[in-house]
Amino acid sequence: MLREEKLIFNNKEYLLKIYVERRRSTYMSIGRNINIRVPKFFSEKAREEQINNMKLKLIDYLKKDPEKYAPISSRKYVSGEIIEIFDRKYILTIQKENRKTSLAKIKENQIILKIPDNLLNEDKIISKLIGKILSKELLPLLKDKVNFFNDLYFKQNIKSISLKNNISKFGSCSYDKKLVFSTSLLLARKDVIDYVIIHELCHTIHHNHSKRFWKLVEKFVPDHKEKSKWLRENRAKLII
């Protein structure tokens, strides 16, 4: 990471995390924080120009719809609530105990968390525990979906498929064809999940958002714009 900055808009404070990494273009994602990613090969002057452009773009977003583009806070969980994800339902049980470490397990249709009774940042820790245990539980199902579409349409040599409790973006594909998906994606509609999987598989062929890339996406998901819009409008609800 290059640095962290704070941006003040309408008396609200936003944390910006600025990264320099191996990529072709500048990218901004808005999740719990605002991440700006700039290419490593840019000169220092070019990087700062790109960073400032992203800040102006962010302010435009916030002017248009401050609620839609505001950073997402951690979800609050209550013992006894039902978590519906990837066509499965789990009953959450949170047990606060006199202990030093946290524990998470799934037993039948129950997610059982045991946490210290004096835990700081409780919501954030619970979110991480749930994201981690659900990733382990649901990763095989996600892999089956990815492999199905890859075998059907792409026939690429996928190096790895993983889940991460990340809300800044729903999926990513590295140059060496490692696919990473957000656990939050699994809260989306089935057809939207399929779209994100196909979107990332298209990146195994085109590592950018060029016209050729979008033409390939449209070949398999003609209504991809509607699905992308649904994700933007519902991202605040897709939180683990």
Q: What is the pLDDT of residues 39-79, one digit of tens each?
A: 999 999 999 999 999 999 989 988 887 766 766 666 889 99
37: Cβ contacts below 8 Å, ≥ 6 apart:
18, 19, 20, 21, 23, 26, 27, 28, 29
CA distances in angstroms from 125 to 74, 92, 120, 134, listed in the order given:
9, 15, 8, 14
C-alpha–C-alpha distance, residues 107 and 95, integer Å: 14
Contact 126, 115 (CB under 8 A): yes
Tokens read off for 87 = 């066509």
Q: Is the pLDDT of residue 20 over 90?
A: yes
User: DSSP assignment, residue 239?
Assistant: -
Q: What is the pLDDT of residues 152-182, one digit of tens each?
A: 999 999 999 999 887 768 999 999 999 999 9
Q: In which residue ranges of the chain is CATH 3.30.2010.10 found?
A: 82-234
Query: What is the crossing angle of helices 190-202 and 211-220, to 10°?
Result: 140
C-alpha–C-alpha distance, residues 152 and 201, integer Å: 11
**Percentage of the residues of the chain whose pLDDT score is greater than 70:** 96
> Which residue pairs, CB below 8 angstroms and at least 24 apart, start in 120-129?
123/74, 123/75, 123/76, 123/77, 124/74, 126/77, 126/94, 127/74, 127/75, 127/77, 127/165, 127/239, 127/240, 128/165, 129/102, 129/104
- CATH number of this structure's domain 82-234, picked from the four choices 3.20.20.70, 3.40.190.10, 3.30.2010.10, 2.130.10.10: 3.30.2010.10
Q: What is the pLDDT of residues 23-36, one digit of tens each?
A: 888 988 877 678 89
